[in-house]
A and B are shown apart, each in its own frame.
Chain A
Amino acid sequence: MNWRGIFTIVRKDISVLRYSPAVIWPIVIVVVIIMGLMPAVFTVPYYFVEIPENISLEEGLPDDLPEDLREIYDLIADPLLAQFGGMSPQEVLVRYFLVYVFAPMFLIVPVMTTSVIAADTFVGERERKPLEALLHSPLTDEELLLGKVLAAFIPGVVVSIIAFVIYSISVNALSWPIIGAIFFPTPIWLLILVWVMPGVAALGLGASVLVSSRVKTFQEAYQVSGILVLPIMGLFVGQIFGVFYFSLVLTLILGVIVWVVDVVLFWIALEMFSRSEMISRV
């Protein structure tokens, strides 16, 4: 393996990203909205909800719980509700939304970051032409693919870690008036960070690599890869309606599924990626 060549591509692609507003802005906007603003939307209103002080959830939902809150509680899966025993209704809601419901939303960051970067490095570069000179370089097809993949994967993971830190700070700060303690990140979120997030980043990347040989423009590649957000939204909606929740076991299983899909995607990508095919489209 020509590691010098591979890391030259990684460094080049990452340094070029700094001058690519079409890549940077979608990432910044997604991180700010999902990791910074949305937690506020789901936390701040509970500062102002009046709930009788003597309400406890240890013996199920009390009869005097306000109707609108009851509707939300009805959606929370029973095993999860049992874990919240002893907490105030506000704390239950804040923990429910910020720890569980938002877990899939966080996964939008890696999938979106890697797919937008990969769309730029694979298809955008072809559109702008520098790809042709690269294809004439002495790198093998595998080295070229690995360089391009790492150039999207590394920033994708770094951006996701930054998003995680931003989310941790905003969650603890926003929930402080209700919970009064630093409780985030929880073990489930740490598992998502180290096990699921890199897999999801690779998923966005693998999809973009496959799409790149079929589309002509950066925008087209980005939009097609964006379809990956749909299953993530499915996880979000599934939790909202109490179909499942992000337990440690579910998170582990989700990670296994994602990595298996990744292996299949990259195997197909490696089979399909050919210099001949790429240059024919330049």
Chain B
Amino acid sequence: MEHTTVIHAEGLTRHFGDTIAVDRISFDVQAGEVFGFLGHNGAGKTTTIRVLNGVLDATAGKVEVLGLSPNAQGPALRRRTGVLTETPSLDDRLTARDNLRIYANLYDVPQDQVQSRVDEMLALFELSERADDKVGEFSKGMRQRLALARALIHQPELLFLDEPTSGLDPVASKQVRDLIDRLSEEGRTIFLCTHNLTEAQRLCDRVAVLEEGQIIALGNPRELGDQMGISLPLEIEVAADQINAACELLSSIEHATDVRARGSVINVSGLHRTDIPLAIERLVSTNIAIFQVTPGEASLESVYLALHRDEEAA
């Protein structure tokens, strides 16, 4: 499949006086990808979105988004992007319908389609029944859904989502995550800023980990796990009568920290990805019948914590 680069950043830097918010970061985002931008609060995630969308000028570096320069062609670029800001940034004194109608007009949705597009978004985000209520009366989850609807009202090619589930209860968070899943399935490119690692692991194809304005890791969670030597869970199904021998063999592998059997299935913890062929080889060489091997994913949380341990040690 041919990839089209939607975002290209090279040495992107942004200063605020003496403070360096974003420090020489470089990355590419491909069309249709969900790209996670991870980091603590204040790591430079929101500033990066603002620079990429042409709202804030970069101090240095080269940036191209959808083939346009955000700095020089901001209005043309913003016509093709949608942004969910960290706070929903809605007008509380207006109704949900008015909030959407205003942005449909600002984003130049054809006049004869404004009404239908607004109704469609309200229905999609399950807000039709509250369409004519003032947004000030909405719950956090409803406000977030409405803000997401607003970001999508003009059917943007690229969506910037800044902490989309921040401050939401588990039910509302799940609703928002499901919506992001749906958008991803539609083939939209999504740039997702978050400090929620579980969310990033579930939603993102690739992630960049940001620390004090610099990217300290970039790749998909599995690649990062490999690079960092992060352990991952391994599940192996063997012949039931060989379970004890198999457990003994697996326990002898260097990184294995915990080996447990349940029926004919063995769960091994602590192995690195590179240990998996060795584990299989040992079982096969002793004629243990293997029916299934299922490696788990390195958790992004482990990757993230390992990265930060390294940073602190450095």
Contact = CB atoms under 8 A, between A and B. Distances in A.
Whether A and B are associated in the same complex: the answer reads yes
Interface of A: 2, 4-5, 8-9, 12, 15-16, 19-20, 128-140, 275-276, 279-280
Nearest to B50: A279
Contacts, number: 78
Contact of A136 (B57, B78, B88): B78
Nearest to B87: A129
Contacts of B276: none
A135 B50 CA distance: 10
A15 B94 contact: yes
Nearest to A7: B105
B89 A5 contact: no
Interface in B61-92: 74-76, 78-79, 81, 83, 85, 87-92
Contact of B108 (A4, A12, A130, A132): A4
20 contacts: A2-B75, A2-B108, A5-B108, A8-B102, A8-B105, A8-B106, A16-B93, A128-B91, A129-B90, A130-B91, A133-B85, A133-B90, A136-B53, A136-B78, A136-B85, A138-B78, A139-B75, A139-B106, A276-B55, A279-B56
B94 A12 contact: yes
Interface in B104-138: 105-108, 134
Interface of B: 16, 50, 53, 55-57, 74-76, 78-79, 81, 83, 85, 87-94, 98, 102-103, 105-108, 134, 147, 150
Contacts of A136: 53, 55, 78, 81, 83, 85
A257 to B, nearest CB: 37
Contact of B87 (A8, A132, A137): A132
A138 B76 contact: yes
A138 B106 contact: yes
A22 to B, nearest CB: 12
Contacts of B57: 276
Contacts of A8: 102, 105-106
B76 A16 contact: no
Contacts of B94: 12, 15-16
A129 B92 CA distance: 10
Contact of A276 (B56, B91, B107): B56
B28 to A, nearest CB: 22
Contact of B85 (A132, A275, A276): A132
A91 to B, nearest CB: 49
A125 B204 CA distance: 34
B135 to A, nearest CB: 10
Nearest to A278: B55
Given A135-B55, A139-B75, A130 B89 contact: yes
A136 B281 CA distance: 56
Contact of A133 (B76, B79, B150): B150
A137 B156 CA distance: 12
Given A4-B108, A8-B102, A132-B87, A140 B53 contact: no
B102 A12 contact: yes
B90 A19 contact: no
